[in-house]
Amino acid sequence: MVSPEMQKLAEERAARMQAARELKEPDRVPFTGLGGDVIAAYAGITAYEYQFDFEKSRAAVLKWLKDFPSDSAMIGAGGLDCLPLAVAFSDFPDLAGGFMVVNGPMNDILKMKFARFPGRELDENSSPQFIGRSNMDPSEYDELIANPQKFAYEKILPRLSDNFKDLNSPLALATMARAGLERVRQGAEMAKTMAAIAELGYPFGPAGGLSYAPLDFIGDHLRDIPNTVLDLRRYPDKVKAATESILEVLFKLATANPNVASVGFPLHLNEYLSPELYKEFYWPTLKEFVLRLAEKGIKSSMFCEGWHDPHLETLLELPAGWGTAMFEKTDVRKAKKVLQGHTVVQGGIDVGVVISGTPAQIDEYIKQLLDDMMPGGGFILGANVGNLPRNTPIENIAAVYEAVEKYGKY
Amino acid sequence: MREQLLKSFVDMDEQEAVKIARELVETDGGAVAVLDTCKEAMEEVGRLFEAGEYFLSELIAAGDMFNQIMEFTLPKLQGEEVASLGTMVLGTVQGDVHNIGKDIFKVMAEASGINVIDIGIDVPHEKFVEAIKEHKPELVGMCCLITLGVDSMKRTIEVIKEAGLRDDIKIIIGGGRVSQAVMEHVGADAWADDAARGVRLSKELLGKE
């Protein structure tokens, strides 16, 4: 049961986030908190246990959220994008949504070749990693364009996992059946974790989804990143047509859950492309995606990985209030100047500083950041990358939270 | 022809650049001319990248062209004296299995005349030590993409120190999440978060610029 006191805290936190998302000034700067591999280390467990043992990872997350309170909660160790599987089953929205992300125990069943998990392919204290590989020949673009769902099922799935090599085999059917059972088991575990987190006064907003810019789907899952950027010069028309086809199926997936209120897009190829290539191949279908979601009242958030500076202005082509842009290397001060009153800016804390600074330096760093970023609202404080490594000094993390407490009041 | 090769390469005209190189390589002294011109073109591409005119996709395309052309050019250079600026041992540190950044850097470093010994991804600390003993490089390059790599780089450099090899080499770290602060934290000599800067600083560390 959530106590009235914790209920009130959750409402305050939710209101704080909401105000920032409406581009206003809340009572305090909303802070997403820090996290990542360090959560497991802080609880004295391995990255392997954090990924595979739900009892232990739940205890680790709860200890972290109790000792380092913030305005939103992470739920568990997370996983790796597995969009081709969801696309393959996109005609079955009740199933597909559950297979967008694969975590360690799920991958024990699916055996996806792109996945590397601690205690499996990697050392027990390593981070889960996605390793792109080329799963498609450029001669297959026409097939992809004609029907991305069919192509994902018939051609890509068998190449992603040997369990699906023969789609008519008992192994392939048994793998999907086991994945379904595992999904149910994990759903129950997740509900338990969320209930425990709610008791700590953390709010859970309406459902959020995950999707991809169509060109990133090609880059991450079909052709790999280097081949995709070469394809832009070698087969420009095919790539463009493919992104348009993929948009349709990804949009269908993103809106399959009628309760979804927001969709997150991790951007990957943005940093690789010149403004010309970005505007020709990447942005048109991503923009269309966000506009269609906005028409349905769904907000978007983009995690602009790497340097997004050359593409910042393109965000202004979206209607004001479309959503949130999170930045990794792009200076949030610069982003805010361009996007003030139009786009919520999220991020700001360079994890490099948290890893290698002193508590005094961090205090000063956060103070300056908040001085520059809070005025005018529309800012959510968070790390520039979601993952603090295991050996991050705990006193540095504490220094971040103390500084936010000290300087974060409007 | 050299001028045309240089221009088409730098302008990212893959078909034209490969075609000219194929013709040029068959002429007397052509292989050396192709090699020198492609090196010059790669340097120009790196310069355009650092100037903000070119992006990662151009570095990848240039690296791909360079590799394509070298495939038919290098066999014709057998017996020729190819000057080297120095040797570098290069690897992605333990725990990190990413290779895209390392591979972009590698081809640009090779094109600049650095002899690169690539020891792969997820490289254990001790393997760096063994490679340093075996190849006696002037430079060691460590890459990482994920933040975990920062811990790993620090530990690798400690192990190199413990083996008594730190003073013999310069260390440059590279990858999306490194910075001046990370460089000081792990105890490296230089840092780069892009390949072009990485090659420029590597040449500086070798005393060649």
A390 to chain B, any CB pair closer than 8 A? The answer is yes
Residues whose CB is less than 8 angstroms from the CB of residue A38 and which lie 6 or more positions away in sequence, other chains included: A388, A389, A390, A391, A392, A394, A397
The pLDDT of residue B209: 60
Measure in Å the smallest separation between the Cα of A9 and chain B Cα atoms. Answer: 32
Q: What is the pLDDT along chain B (209 residues), one digit of tens a residue?
A: 899 999 999 999 999 999 999 999 999 889 999 999 999 999 999 999 999 999 999 999 999 999 999 999 988 887 777 778 999 999 999 988 888 889 999 999 999 999 999 999 999 999 999 999 999 999 999 999 888 888 899 999 999 999 999 999 999 999 988 889 899 999 999 999 999 999 999 999 998 76
Listed by number, the residues of chain B in 26-85 with a beta carbon closer than 8 Å to a beta carbon of chain A are 52, 54-58, 60-61, 64
Q: Is A131–B147 a contact, with Cβ atoms under 8 angstroms apart?
A: no
Q: Is A389–B147 a contact, with Cβ atoms under 8 angstroms apart?
A: yes
Domain architecture of chain B: domains with CATH: 2-77 (1.10.1240.10), 86-205 (3.40.50.280)
Minimal-distance CA residue of chain B relative to A384: B177
Minimal-distance CA residue of chain B relative to A385: B147
Distance of CA B154 to the CA centre of its chain: 21
**CB-CB: which of A126, A352, A391 is closest to B177?**
A352
Confidence category of residue A119, pLDDT binned at 50, 70, 90: very high
The pLDDT of residue A208: 85
Tell me what the pLDDT averaged over chain A comes to: 95
- Alpha-carbon distance B8 to A396, whole Å? 51
The pLDDT of residue A135: 97
Chain B CB contacts of A129 under 8 Å are 96-98, 146
The pLDDT of residue A93: 82
Under a CB-based contact definition with an 8 Å cutoff, are residues B174 and B188 in contact? no
Residue the block writes with tokens 């933040």: B147
Chain A CB contacts of B60 under 8 Å are 225-226, 229-230, 272
* Percentage above 70 pLDDT, chain A: 100
CA dihedral of residues A105, A109, A112, A117 (deg, nearest 10): 20
Please write the tens of the pLDDT for every residue from A152-188: 999 999 999 999 999 999 999 999 999 999 999 999 9
The pLDDT of residue A367: 98
The residue among A296 and B97 whose pLDDT is bigger is A296
Please write the tens of the pLDDT for every residue from A194-207: 999 999 999 987 78
The pLDDT of residue B98: 87
The pLDDT of residue B148: 82
Q: Is B60–A234 a contact, with Cβ atoms under 8 angstroms apart?
A: no
Beta-bridge mates of residue B86: B114
Instruction: Report the helix count and the strand count for chain A, using DSSP H and E.
Output: 20, 10
User: For A242-270, what is the mean pLDDT?
Assistant: 95
Q: Is A387–B184 a contact, with Cβ atoms under 8 angstroms apart?
A: no
Q: H or E segment at B197?
A: helix B195-205
Q: Is A352–B64 a contact, with Cβ atoms under 8 angstroms apart?
A: no
Beta-bridge mates of residue A116: A129
Q: Is A229–B150 a contact, with Cβ atoms under 8 angstroms apart?
A: no
- Alpha-carbon distance B116 to B111, whole Å? 10
The pLDDT of residue A23: 97
Q: Is B177–A353 a contact, with Cβ atoms under 8 angstroms apart?
A: no
**Rg of the Cα trace of chain B?**
18
**CB-CB: which of A36, A229, A351 is closest to B57?**
A229
User: For A367-380, what is the mean pLDDT?
Assistant: 98
Please write the tens of the pLDDT for every residue from A5-31: 999 999 999 999 999 999 999 999 999
Chain A CB contacts of B18 under 8 Å are none
